[in-house]
Amino acid sequence: MLMPIRHSSTKCVQTRTNASQLKIHISRIMKILRLFTALFIAVMTMAACDDTTDNIGSSITNEVDNLSIQQKVFNVTSRSVVSGPVLSRNNTGMIGKVKDPETGTYVTGDYMTQFGVLSSFSLDTLEYIRNAHDGKIEADSCFLLVSYKTIYGDSLAPMKATAYEMSKPMTEDQEYYSDYDAFGNGWVSENNYHSSATYNLNEGSTMAFKIYLNKPYKARDGKTYKNYGTYIMNTFVEHPEYFKSNYSFLNNVCPGFYIKNTGGIGNVANIWNTELQFYWKIQKTVKDSQGKDSVITGYTYNRFDGTEEVLQLNKITNDTKTLETLASNEECTFIKSPAGIFTEVTLPVEDIIKGHEKDTLNTASISFPRMNNVDDSKYQFSAPSTILMVEADSLNTFFEQSKLTDNRSSYTASYSASTSRKNAYTFYNISNLVTKMHNAKLEGEKKNANWVNEHPNWNKVMLVPVTLKTSTINNSTVVTKINHDMSLSSTRLIKATDDANKDYTLDKSGNKVAAGPVQIKVIYSRFKE
């Protein structure tokens, strides 16, 4: 009787083993099926980026894995918001004053620039300089060379700029916004050494103008020099240690210059570099072929450049009253730079999640159509090339902390004039943002029943014009920096509304149903239990 029992026990073990293996095989098969399901969802997600997917709905089901996919659309709302000052962190400057022909707003650009110094900085043989200047160390000419890469407006319009030497350097231990007051905060005074230039812009090979610093310069120690270049040269002779670092140079020699628009309306130059250049004559005696003394005279120069290692800060002055009037327009919203108008968008997070708490939110795409200009002026501001979508309450910290988009709380979209999403800015999938906002609300209300009232922007985002700095890493282009767009740009967007009296469709009963011109299209998926 023992043998059958042993035999029966062996069979039981084998049966259990086979059952375990079967479960493993089934698990592997299910994983494969789910892989195919994921691929199916991915295909549907990609299809959702096209406007031809309106018929996708609850009828789409993967019968093998009981996968149900639904598509819905929801209205969003938007409004214009005057941006106020923005973080002025840029390697370029802007000088000039223009009027936007489309909106009628004026914008003025001034900027502050510092100069970097190489530790290897030096002058020619001092003896040769003294020979040419009756025993003195002197510069024969000194000027600021203001180089620009693009211009806007009438290049023939005469403009005037004044360069003021800074009273002290603007330090790097604080953030500066585009409304900083260089005069009011004591960084520069009207009594400081300054010089002006009247100029015209051009788009030729020489895209630059000069502000000469050739009048006598009185230094802080009371000494007066022939010009600003002479001051620089003599300071180097007496204190070469001041030229060994940027910090020492800024605090002991040249704190920088504030370049201010002081006349003219009609054009703006986008400044990519400002150089402090100074020239001097040299003279030396040499022997000619016959052994006689011969005097040779020549000119040489040196310069200091505005670099990324030192500060360059834009000061933007806008026509605030006109901006406020534009922002109140109920027919459209605006995106306008620099430091102009942003568009605020309210996302229907609760409506999107309601009834789909157990579903996966696969995609949430939204497109913001642009309205074409009505003015036919050849001096139209261009539409922003790139806009940032960022949570409204995180707008300032995004730039102050030099963040990059994470596709969770922030995204970028480029203006498209030729793809399927023509004349629009399209964000192809902000589902992570919608989910994040929903979860934040749930967690907040667990701790505080009044959380929504205390966080009125919890479901709002800002659309902001930005510029992207990129680098190539392993043959891939990656974004390394995002700054506020400080160029002249402006566009109108179709205003998003959920008002059934403005934009609507009719349901089966003939009732009006709001169908705003801007909608967020979402795709859900669910594995049936």
Domains of the chain: total? 2
Residues 347 and 429 in one domain: yes
- Segments forming the whole domain that contains residue 272: 106-317
pLDDT in tens, 70-94: 999 999 999 999 999 999 877 778 9
| Rounded CA separation 73/352 (Å) | 9
Residues 249 and 152 in one domain: yes
**Sign of the dihedral defined by the CA atoms of residues 477, 404, 392, 400, in that order:** negative
Domain assignment of residue 11, yes or no: no
Domain assignment of residue 93, yes or no: no
Averaged pLDDT of the chain: 87
Residues 361 and 489 in one domain: yes
Q: Hey, what amino acid is at 506?
A: L
Give residue 52's pLDDT band: very low, low, confident or very high (50, 70, 90): very low
Quickly tell me which residue has 């210059």 as its tokens: 257
| Rounded CA separation 261/94 (Å) | 10
| Rounded CA separation 249/116 (Å) | 8
Residue closest to 153 by CA, chosen among 488, 523, 521? 488
Strands, E assignment, 219-371: 224-225, 257-263, 267-287, 293-305, 312-318, 332-337, 341-346, 360-371
Helices (H), 145-301: 228-238, 246-252
Instruction: Please tell me the predicted confidence (pLDDT) of residue 341.
Output: 97
pLDDT in tens, 356-403: 999 999 999 999 999 988 877 888 899 999 999 999 999 999 999 999
Q: Region 231-245: what's the mean pLDDT?
A: 96
Domain assignment of residue 32, yes or no: no
What is the percent of the chain with per-residue pLDDT over 70, rounded to a whole number? 87
Instruction: Please tell me the predicted confidence (pLDDT) of residue 504.
Output: 82
Give the DSSP letter string of 91-123: S-EEEEEEE-TTT--EEEEEEEE--B--TT---
Residues 400 and 269 in one domain: no
Q: Hey, what amino acid is at 311?
A: L
In the three-class reduction of DSSP (H, G, I as helix; E, B as strand; rest coil), residue 155 is classed as: coil
Residues 129 and 162 in one domain: yes
Domain assignment of residue 5, yes or no: no
Of the candidates 317, 349, 367, which is a domain's last residue?
Answer: 317
The model's pTM: 0.84
Q: Residue 162, Cβ neighbours under 10 Å: how many?
A: 18
Residues 261 and 326 in one domain: no
Residues 329 and 289 in one domain: no
Helices (H), 48-179: 126-132
In the three-class reduction of DSSP (H, G, I as helix; E, B as strand; rest coil), residue 368 is classed as: strand
Give residue 288's pLDDT band: very low, low, confident or very high (50, 70, 90): confident
Domain assignment of residue 360, yes or no: yes
Give the DSSP letter string of 5-25: HHHHHHHHHHHHHHHHHHHHH
Domain assignment of residue 64, yes or no: no
| Rounded CA separation 358/364 (Å) | 16
The pair of three-digit structure tokens given for residue 424, joined into one six-digit string? 């629009």
